[in-house]
Amino acid sequence: MRLFVALDLPWTLRETLSGLCGGLSGARWTAPENLHLTLRFIGEVRRDRAEEIDLALHALRGRRFELAVSGTGLFDRNNRPSVLWAGIVRCERLDHLQNKIETALQRAGVVPERRRFQPHISLARVDAVAEPLLAGWLQGHNLLRTRPVPVDSFTLFSSQPGPDQPVYTAEVDYELV
């Protein structure tokens, strides 16, 4: 199984973000049903390891909070634009939850994450988009702001390859108090 832990976004936020998707020839936009905020990518695991991960995440206790989107940006891979994203307003409870998830996963035997957590929502793959078009899109959307939405759970997802995009399946939801 290919697994990751994420916040499953409310439909209202997905609609707002999917309204941004367009206007860039060559961009591969994320389908609204696939929009999420990854807290920790795990990768391929055996079924028995997935059960250990589930147990570790069930034991985790976190507090509810609100999440807001602010701004857009671009990740590079090998000095080339690769992912267009929507940013997240920094939130102590989000950072705390992500740290707890990382600790729980390491206790379950998952290799530690080496990259620093940078909360974002991936909107599109843009490796085939001309850089001047990307710059124009970013300038046109850099003032993006959404109202805060409540976060009362996080989710363990599985990912399967699909014909156009991966198919994400919510395997387990973990309630926050």
- Positions marked active-site: 36, 120
64-97 core/surface letters (b: 16 or more CB in 10 A; e: else): ebebebebbebeeeeeebebbbbbbeebeebeeb
CA dihedral 9, 120, 47, 153 (to 10 degrees): -40
- CA triple 55-116-90, angle to 5 deg: 90
Distance CA 155, CA 62 (A): 13
Pairing of strands 69-77, 2-8: unpaired
Among positive and negative, which fits the CA dihedral 29, 30, 31, 35?
negative
- CA triple 57-59-61, angle to 5 deg: 90
Number of helices (H), then strands (E), in the chain = 4, 10
